[in-house]
């Protein structure tokens, strides 16, 4: 007999994950630890950019809320939700906290205070809407579903709306 560790003989092996099609979904979001390629997972990572700007980031895992959808319970991860200021002035962590979840933030706060608030709020698993699009994260990487936007959860129940 030759053992084959590549095949799970269990009849209860999990089914293959379904790939989320492009669209807008209601989801519960939670913080997901991140790691450097060769490191241990951490609650968040910090880096200084070449221009001297310090940024921090963490991951977010979104679980699609089941409203009779075949994708209910599916999970998708956004591995880079950051404190990086975008050209339009938006900051991803601030947008999710204030724009999507209605959290009040002080007029000024440190990056550590912002990250700590983000981690604390996401610990409760708040509900938002996410837009998913199949695309490559970086040039040369595989095309797969990515979270491209976060929205405030509407009062209308949705399973999936076309973006």
What confidence score (pLDDT) does residue 148 get?
Answer: 85
What confidence score (pLDDT) does residue 145 get?
Answer: 85
What confidence score (pLDDT) does residue 154 get?
Answer: 75
Average pLDDT over residues 33-37: 88
Q: How far apart are CA 51 and CA 48, in angstroms?
A: 8
Neighbours of 116 (CB within 10 A): 14
What confidence score (pLDDT) does residue 118 get?
Answer: 96
Coil, helix or strand at residue 56: strand
Average pLDDT over residues 126-152: 86
- Paired residues of 147 in beta bridges: 132
101 vs 2: which has the higher pLDDT: 101
Average pLDDT over residues 53-59: 94
Q: How far apart are CA 58 and CA 32, in angstroms?
A: 7
pTM of structure = 0.80
pLDDT of 131 over the 50 cut? yes
Long-range contacts, stretch 39-48, CB < 8 angstroms, 24+ apart: 43/119, 44/115, 44/119, 46/111
Average pLDDT over residues 122-146: 86
pLDDT of 31 over the 90 cut? yes
**CB neighbour list of residue 15: distance below 8 Å, 6 or more residues apart:** none
């Amino acid at each position: 007999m030759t053992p084959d560790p590549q095949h799970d003989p269990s009849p209860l092996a999990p089914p293959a994950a379904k790939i989320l099609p492009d669209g807008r979904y209601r989801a519960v979001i939670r913080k997901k630890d991140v790691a450097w390629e060769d490191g241990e997972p951490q609650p968040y990572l910090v880096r200084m950019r070449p221009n001297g700007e310090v940024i921090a980031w963490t991951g977010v895992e979104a679980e699609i809320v089941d409203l009779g959808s075949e994708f209910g319970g599916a999970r998708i991860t956004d591995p880079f939700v950051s404190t990086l200021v975008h050209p339009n002035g938006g900051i991803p962590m601030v947008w999710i906290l204030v724009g999507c979840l209605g959290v009040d933030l002080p007029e000024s706060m440190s990056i550590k205070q912002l990250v700590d608030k983000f981690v604390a709020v996401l610990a409760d698993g708040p509900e938002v809407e996410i837009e998913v699009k199949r695309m490559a994260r970086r040039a040369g990487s595989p095309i797969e579903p990515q979270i491209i936007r976060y929205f405030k959860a509407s009062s209308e129940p949705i399973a999936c709306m076309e973006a």
